[in-house]
Structure 1
Amino acid sequence: MKLKIFTLFFLSAIVALSLSCRKAELLQPEQPKIIQLNITGTTDVDLEYLYRDSIIANTKAGTGGISVKTLLAVKDQNSTLKIRNKTTAEILLTKTITAAPFDQNISVFYDGTKIYNNAISLQFKGYALSGELEFLLDGNLLFSATGAVNKPYSILIDKGTTREISIRKKGETAILLTKTIESTIAKQNIGYFFDGTKLVDNVKLDLPVNPANMMLTAKFETTFPNQFKNVDVDLIFYTRLKTASNTTVGSKVSPEIRFTLPKNGSFNSIELPPLPGPNYIYSFDIAEKGTNNEPYTSSSPLVLAGYTLKPNEGRITSAFADNGINFEAGKSKLFVITDARTTVTSPAKNVYVSGGKLTDLSQYFQ
């Protein structure tokens, strides 16, 4: 009997000890998971990063961007990271940090007003002949400029969204250009030319496919608005010796080269082949597109009383002789081409219209 009681007591002790150990195992706290957090981006103000209400890092504005890399212990499967404005203590972003994966990345782009999760590079490149232009992002002034502009900008944008760039003349409300900025294109460009009234976009210089040629990109503007027929024009190319007089007829290029320039002032491009020799230059006639007709009416002030408007045949004006198309193989040139007239009195009173002033904008778009 005593043996049975002892045996029962012994077995009960073993069971109790086993249950006690199992309970101790169940009560043992869960070990935290370690993850590596990387925070990158940019900010216009000082930021602080809080994890479990403790500051784990900070970023000072103007120091080259956000670069935070730290190890964090995550308990209970997830925890919370907060990003706040150091000056105002405003919480700008709250993110859940999970126990997996080990590497976790957060992109933060803060402009002082809103946090974005992405940024693209936008290059402004252009030229204004006159006036000051204002560049706006979503209706808010980004910057203003005169003359040549070659300015890179980092545009903050949320993934899957768009933003809008617009350009207007300072002091006016009319929008000259509107461009949609996509979040999926890392590098974007806005190339423009402003003549003081109209703005043309998508201006860029491409090198010629044939390195022996020269790429010419140009737009046409008339100095005779009352006589111009407001039509698309063709420049019909000639070659001539540099030493020839302005009124000497040129040699028409064969096969014929026609370069169409739209009446709306937009740019077009053409590859010009090499000249016959170093002592030659290009000249051109101005005709209605697809014809040999003059794109002008024969009236004053273009045509003086007693004078006759005649086909130009490769002649040049004195302005063009001093500032014409300087051929350079393998290069790309950008011109604003205006017209001008030449008058002769012998053997008859005639007026010839050809290239006048050429404004070379190449340096601003290289």
Structure 2
Amino acid sequence: MNKKQNLFFFLKSLINNDTAVIGGRTKKWWTALILYFVSIFIAVIPTMISVGKTKGSAIFTGDQFHSDVAMIKFNESLATNDVDLIFEDSAAGPILTNPSANYAFTFDKTLEITDETSVVFNFPYYTFARTETYTIENSDGTTTEETKVTEHLRVYYVASMDGFVFHGGKHLTPEVYLANYLAKAKSTEEKIVSHFILGKNGITIRIYNPTKATEGKNVERSYNGVYKKVPVGLNIKNFYLKGKDGNPLDSTAMTFKSEVLASWANLVDVAYGPVKVNLFFAQSGLSLLVYAVISAFIGLVIFLSTRGKNNPNRSITFKESMQIGCWLLLSPALITLVIGSFLPQYAALIYVATLGMRSVWLTMKSLRPVQPAK
């Protein structure tokens, strides 16, 4: 075949199973190998794009259940009480500090937890709650007013806590232990509240619906970030005083709330950067592995489906079966790329479904056994 004929043959194999069978049996083995690796790489592209486009500030989209208001109040309290939360340099990278050591004195509420060695840890936190009044109509036509206090946010500061918490046979940093504890908490044991955990090396955020959450796992949105790329000298207190561009803020301006939240969004985006890199390689690598195994399995299915004594394709060897399987992969991968770009959460399902349908069609039509005469 000349180049034009080879190109036409290759394009035809995308939609014609008979052509794919011929390609797998007659073309060079390395052609099938190239198709194998190119196909699984194409199939994983939607996952790579989806993870790459994710931002840490997505935690602040959707219903915040008044936690956004609480964040403004938290920054106001930091500024009013002159509580600095500054990122300083260290041998291990930027760490969060409270140079005046006045966070726990300013916000004197604490969560007390005793570890497995009977050591008591007190985690200081800022809290924001709202008192809401409800009017209830009674059966006799009268009305009764009831008040309810709803806590919307806690901001734990644990960066200054030294030592380790012993739990489950392991020594954990206070921030890791607190995050695990709150994630597993139940409303019968601990109040389920949206919270920030400001640790020495990282930040954890969880947003809850206060009317629905009964366990720590009932989270609406969650976030984890690390401070590796956070600028040294950044002061969280200044989110209330300056915009992310460094210009002073006017607390009476219409844009004030959005400016404060923009500073938080910038911080969590930067802190999410290193996490996103790890997540990118982890999810992409896992997807590649899954697609590689599934794609290789198709060749085995073809080999087993042609072993029947009445099957005219019994002459197909194991090697040829694997090569035919490789020739089937590219069109499902391209479909996954196109549809998965719009629906990345379904990319794996799309690839498996389209590849499965093409394989079933192949074994039922192109490689079907000869039916014995009646």
TM-score tier by shorter-chain length is under 0.3
Which structure carries more strand by proportion? 1
TM-score when scaled to structure 2? 0.23
TM-score when scaled to structure 1? 0.23
User: Looking at both structures, which has the greater relative contact order when contacts are Cα pairs under 8 Å and sequence separation is at least 6?
Assistant: 2
